[in-house]
Every structure is written in structure tokens, then in C-alpha cells.
Structure 1
Amino acid sequence: MLSQASVAMVRATLPVVRAHAVEITGEFYSSMFSAHPDLLDLFNQGNQADGRQKLALASAVVGFAECLTADTGDEAASFERVAERIAHKHVSLGVRAEQYPVVGHHLLTAVGTVLGAAVTPEVFAAWHEVYWLLACRLIAAEARLYQRGDLDPADHWRRWRVAKRLDEAVDVVSFTLVPDDGAAVPHFVPGQYVSVMVGLPGGRRQPRQYSLSHGPGRGSLRITVRRVRGREGAPDGAVSNHLHDHVTEDECLLLGPPAGETTLDTGDGPVLLVSAGIGITPMAAILDHLARVQPTRRIVLAHADRSPAHHALRRECAQTVTGLGEAGELYWYESDHDDRSRPGRMEVDALPLRPGTTAYLCGPLPFMQGIRAGLIRRGLPAARIRYEIFGPGMLERDRPPAGT
């Protein structure tokens, strides 16, 4: 709990901090990377370049402060979902508790740099308390995840050998991976992802997170990677293009442990899997798993894409659905619309909603926002809609009132 003196101070200064939050986080990253260049390897530099990481951090810190100073529990419940997502992302990257003081020092220094004389000792102390309450919450959550998975963050990255490489669709390739040392494949839950660390030209290393695209119990992990091509002046995706152009069978990749909170439930109710583009990957894992352990469960796979040729894992998923008695599939393609650069516009009213349905969403953020809003309008409770977000971002109801 935030002390009463700090509650009053944070409430009084929240408007100015919120107004300058992105400027503060921009200053924070600049100063921290200058002092600790080794941390560049831990952060997605693509998200740094386009500003998404700054916005995500600003939203998280401000949202947590609002949670601490709110009069009701709604904000706290909303932030819990955000905090869980952050903790899983951190565990997938091997974030350690001892790194939090470094972050705290540079973040609070950035507040003083941007706001200047407005940051009195009392203001600094109040926001110092906010940061450390957030840090302790995340450190505890991450410690539980490390303990649950019997993981050591100091020995985080493991070598995995590419046992199979397969072109799946236009600009999409799958890598089936096995431990290079012959160790057991770790347990994971359908819907989770792994971090992949690659070496890039110039000596840089960069991590990216990719959903696992087949279910557990196959003696391997599989990631399915879309080549990110730069548009409107944006650069090509450094890691995805490296994987496509340079990683072949029998080469090794560095992987972190499986992580992620958007996973298949343990019930037996109807399942609606909704995806667009490369968002098909966690849905393919869920479908694969259900086909083997709950083949009588009612399942609908709904997917939107640019064309059948761009639709990754299409044949595999179709074969799986055909083998199930209570499953169906719905597809939308851009060829039915004028905009040739986006997936087909999924018709949310065409999605079947049986009583007790749980929906899983994955795809571009605007796509998920639209589908989620439509499902809620049709009566599906928000608590029964789950989703995965690639990169820093939040859906509207999960954004603290005002990522990583």
C-alpha cells in the first residue's frame, strides 16, 4: 500500500507526470542505455525505434500510480492483468531482480530531468515509493514463475538445434527445435511463447518472442516466423529477416523458457479461436493440443489473412479440424475487399457463440479490439475473451485508466 502522504502527493502530481510520461520514459531509456549498453541486448530495438516501448512503459507506470491512488478496486483488477503479462515477458527474457535498482535509478532521474524544479524532495519520495511498490510486485511475480518452472535467470539462454525448417506460406517459415544437449523438452501450455536471441551484424544481439505453434508432447518446440518487411519508411524486421535468410537445419538458436499467460483453459466448454495473419500460431498450438487430449470438445477456428497463399499453417489446421467431430473453420481473405495490404475483414456476427464459449484472440491490435468489442456486444462476457499481444500493447479494457 502507498503511504497516505504519498497518496496525496501522487494524486497532485499525476496530471503533470501523465502529460510528460512519454518524454520521461524516452529520457530514461536514453540515459540507461548510455550507462549500461549491455542492456541494449535485452530490449527490442525495433520497439525502441518506433516509440512503442516508451509508450508501454509510460502507460504501465502511470497506470500503476492510478491504481494505488484509486478509490475503488476496478483499477487494481485491471492492472493485475497488465502486471501478469509484464512478469511473463520478463521471465521469458531472463530479467533479474538485481536489474530493478538500475531501472529505478534512471527512471526517477529522468523524472527530475524532464520536470525540473517541480520535483521537490517530497515529490521524488512519493514517486520513488510508487516505483518500488511496482518493482517489488513484479519481482515477486517473476520469482514465482522462475520457481514454478525450476528456472535460473542467471542461466537463461539454452542452445536449441533446428531439426526441421519448413516454408509454410509466403514470407512464413517454421523451425522445429530440439535441445542441442539432448535434455528434455520443457513443459509448456498451448498459447505460450519463447524468446529467441540472435546475433546480428555489428556484434549486436536481439531477442524476439514467438508463439509456439504446435502443442506439447511432441518432443520438440516449433516457432513459425513471418518475415517483417518494412513499410512506409520503416526498416525490415532485423530478427525475422535474419531467421529467414541465415538459419538452416542443424544450426542452433538461443531460446529462453516457455512463458505467457494467455493459455488454454482446463475446462470442456466450446472454444472459439480467432486470429489474423501470423496470429494463427498460438491457435494452431491450441488446436493441435485439443485434437489429441479433448477431441470431442467443440472448436471453431476463424482466421483472416491476405490470401490463401499468405495463410500460414492452413493445410495443417484444416487437416486437424477435418479429423474432429465437433470442429469447424471460417476464413476471410483480402481478395474480397479493396484494401490489399490488410487481412480480410472478419465478420464478427458470423462467429458462432454457443453457451459457455471461451474465445481466444491473436493478431494485430486493431483487429483484436474490433473482434473483442463485437463479441462483447453479442453477449460474450469479457472474462471469457483471452488474447495474446505481440510487442508492447494493451487492449482498451486492459489499459490502466488514464504494455511492456
Structure 2
Amino acid sequence: MLSQKTIDIVKSTAPVLEQHGKTITTVFYKNMFAAHPELLNIFNHANQSKGRQQTALANTVYAAAANIDNLGAIIPAVIQIAHKHRSLGVEKEHYPIVGYHLLGAIKEVLGDAATPEIIEAWGEAYEVIADAFIGIEEDMYDKAAEVDGGWRTFKEFVIVDKVTESDVITSFYLKPADDEQLPTYEPGQYITIRFRIPGEQYTINRQYSLSQAPGKDTFRISVKREDEFAPNGKASVHLYQHMNIGDTIEVSAPAGDFYLNTESSSPVTLISGGVGITPMMAMYETIASNSPERPVAFLHSARTRKHQAFNDVLRSMTGSLANATYEVLYSEEGDGFINREFLAKHVVEGSDIYVCGPTPFMQAVISALHDIGVTEDKIHFEFFGPKEELELQHA
């Protein structure tokens, strides 16, 4: 338990952290990687280069400071981050390293304003916050290893098929190299794949949604090919050009807190943009297999027909369901975008709504959902990468 004095000091720093948070986290990552370059084998280099990881950590540190007297309020955010940590292989021994460099970055950025009293208070607070993360993540590691077919961190898989789904999306079917059964997972969850690119010093880690329902003898990920010069293009280009049937890759156990509620029979609306279709495929296929009477709408936006993956499969599944609709808009072919009017027409009344796609897409869609009266508790969304703040616009 933290003393009231420590709580008061930490809460008093919240406005400063809100103002200088990203500067602090940028310095933190720079210093930590300089001292411990081996950690670059864990972190996503693309998210670092784009500044997304720094922003996400800054938001987390600020939330922790603002809620230090009620850390239960940030448990949902902690759980979401813990899923990502578990899928990347972050272990309890990493936390002292993080704490040392985070406190050092606060001192470096704030200078004399970061008094010994403030640094000491933050050191105590960090221990409490780190213990919360460690406890949740250890439980996740144990559960991942204990389920039938499960494992703790990474396991070798073989690529057993590689299928072109569109001009920009290719599916990779992955099977355990030891031929053991696969664990079940929640439709919408993701895995981390880990591999080395010749000439690169550090391991590449990327998280991809599982794009088919559980219960198969393979995992399927469906990867969008990015520009090779983009920060996140290196991994996808290597997968497309150099990873083929028979090649091996390391895979984490499934993780993530964005998934279909399979215990519910309430209506569902799935809304995706671009490669955001991938977790929705797992959800839709699960509904088709397990609860075909459940009302569901699948709403998708793609640039063109050539960019769209799974169109024929979706139309076939929709035809087999009793209460399903499937609508797709091609923005560069004159259909426009998913907007307020489109959603008012096609969202199933009273449904749980799942949204996934590029951040601007989600901002527009979630703002429009609010505008047509959908309450916050009905909207679930997934970021590909570190969680960001959505800047919602309302009519």
C-alpha cells in the first residue's frame, strides 16, 4: 500500500506528465535501448519509429498518475497491455530495467523540477504498478500453458499453405512443427509471429489477428503487404517475398481482449475497414458455425474490389445464415465511405458492435455510431498496435 503522502505527490505530477509525457517516454526508450539493446528483440521497431509506442506509454503513465489512489479504474487498460506483453514474451525480470530508465527519463526531462521527493514517490508507485502488471501477466502465461495444446511463450510452426486473398492481402496457414493439437482461442484474438530477416541485427515481432474461427488444425493470419519503405513494411515484404510453404516461424499463444462474446445470443454488427476485416472473419465464421440463427450484419469498407479479401467467402456464408446481411463499400469506385446514414440503415438494432480498421476509419465510424444513439458499452474496437486515443467528432 502506498502512503497518502506518496499518493498526493504522484497525483500532483499528473498535469506535468500529461504535458511532457511523450518527451519523457521518448527519452526513456532511447536510454533503455542504448543500455539494453537485447530488448530490441522484443519490441516492435515499426511502432517505435512511428512514435506510437511512446505515445501509448505516455498515456499509460499519465493514467496511472491520475488514478494512483484508485488503480482499479485502469485495470481494463492494464489487461489490454498485459495481453500484448504476454504475446511478446515480456517477463517479470524486465520490469526493474523499465523502472530504472523511466525514473531516469523523468529526471532528465523535468530537471530540477523532479525533486528527490518526487522521484522517490514515483519509485514507490512504480513498484506497485509493476507488481500489478507482473501478477496479471504471470496468470496469463500460466493459463496459456495449461490449456490443451498450449504453451508459455513461443513455439515453432511450419507454413503449410500460402493463399492470395486480394491484390494486397495474403493468408498464411500455420501448423505446429511438433504436430501437436492447437489450443482453442476467442474469435478476434491475435498471435505474435517472430522471425529473423537476413542482415537484420534484431528479431522481428509482429502481431496478426487470427482470421479464421477456432477449432481448426491450423492458425491462419492474413497479412497486408505494406510499402517496403514504410516503417511497418519490412516484415510484410519479407513474409510475401521470402516466407513460403515449408518454412518455419515462431508463434506465440493466442492473446487479446477484443473478441466476440460467444456466450451471448444478442445481435451483432461487425464493421471493418481494409485489413481490419481479419478478426471479423473469425467472428463471422464462428457465428456461422455455432449460432447460425443469431442476427448479424457484416459491414466492410475497401478501396477497390481488387483490394477486398474474402468477398466470395463472405457472400457464401451470409447466404447460409438465417438472419445475416453483408454490405461492402468500395471508396475508390464511387460508393463513398461508411458514414452516419449508412450505419443508421444497416446496424442491427440493439446489437453489440465490433469495429476494426485504420485509426481514422475507427474515429469516423465510432463518432457516427454515437451520433445515431449507440451507447459506449455496445461498442468494442481493436487497434493494430499500441492503443491510441481516438479523437471523436460528433455532429
Structure 2-normalised TM-score? 0.92
Q: Which residue of 1 aligns with 2:114?
A: 119
Q: Which residue of 2 aligns with 1:146?
A: 141
Q: Which residue of 1 aligns with 2:93?
A: 98
Counterpart mapping for 1:231-310 below 5 A? 234-235=230-231, 237-265=233-261, 266-310=263-307
Counterpart mapping for 1:53-68 below 5 A? 53-68=53-68
| Distance (whole Å) between structure 2 residues aligned to residue 269 and residue 155 of structure 1 | 34
Conserved 8 A contact 1:306-1:344: no
Q: 1:245 to 1:154 in 2, by over 3 A?
A: same
Residue-by-residue CA offset, 1:136-193 (whole Å, 9 max, x unaligned):
1111111221222226999621111111100110121100111011111111110000
| Equivalent in 164, 175, 178 of residue 175 of structure 2 | 178
TM-superposed CA distance for 1:374, in Å, is 1.6
Count of equivalent residues: 386
| Distance (whole Å) between structure 2 residues aligned to residue 397 and residue 234 of structure 1 | 24
TM-superposed CA distance for 1:80, in Å, is 2.6
Q: Does residue 1:349 correspond to 2:326, yes or no?
A: no
SS of match in other structure, 1:194: strand
Residue-by-residue CA offset, 1:1-39 (whole Å, 9 max, x unaligned):
542101221233222233221111111111111111110
Q: 1:181 to 1:114 in 2, by over 3 A?
A: same
Identify the structure with bigger relative contact order (alpha carbons < 8 Å, sequence gap 6+).
Answer: 1
SS of match in other structure, 2:145: coil
Q: 1:154 to 1:38 in 2, by over 3 A?
A: farther
Q: Which residue of 2 aligns with 1:380?
A: 374
Residue-by-residue CA offset, 1:339-392 (whole Å, 9 max, x unaligned):
xxxx95112332334443100010011211221122122222211111111011
Residue-by-residue CA offset, 1:179-230 (whole Å, 9 max, x unaligned):
0111111111100000011202233211000000000111111000001116
SS of match in other structure, 1:54: helix
| Distance (whole Å) between structure 2 residues aligned to residue 241 and residue 151 of structure 1 | 35
| Distance (whole Å) between structure 2 residues aligned to residue 330 and residue 345 of structure 1 | 12
Query: Any unmatched runs of 5+ in structure 1?
Result: 338-342, 399-404
Residue-by-residue CA offset, 1:56-98 (whole Å, 9 max, x unaligned):
11111111111225xxx7x954x23221210110111111111
Q: Which residue of 2 aligns with 1:22?
A: 22
| Distance (whole Å) between structure 1 residues aligned to residue 348 and residue 165 of structure 2 | 32
Q: Does residue 1:48 correspond to 2:19, yes or no?
A: no
Provide the aligned C-alpha RMSD in A: 2.2
Q: Which amino acid aligns with 1:363?
A: G
| Distance (whole Å) between structure 2 residues aligned to residue 393 and residue 381 of structure 1 | 21
TM-superposed CA distance for 1:336, in Å, is 4.2
Conserved 8 A contact 2:52-2:388: no
Residue-by-residue CA offset, 1:319-353 (whole Å, 9 max, x unaligned):
1111112111111112245xxxxx95112332334
Conserved 8 A contact 2:24-2:106: yes
Conserved 8 A contact 1:171-1:227: yes
Conserved 8 A contact 1:305-1:344: no
| Distance (whole Å) between structure 2 residues aligned to residue 155 and residue 382 of structure 1 | 34
Q: 1:55 to 1:7 in 2, by over 3 A?
A: same
Q: Which amino acid aligns with 2:107?
A: G
Q: Which residue of 2 aligns with 1:208?
A: 206
Q: Which amino acid aligns with 1:239?
A: A
Once the two structures are overlaid, the 10-residue window that deviates more, 154-163 or 95-104, is: 154-163
| Distance (whole Å) between structure 2 residues aligned to residue 89 and residue 236 of structure 1 | 17
Conserved 8 A contact 1:365-1:395: no
Q: Which amino acid aligns with 1:58?
A: A
TM-superposed CA distance for 1:286, in Å, is 0.5
Q: Does residue 1:317 correspond to 2:314, yes or no?
A: yes
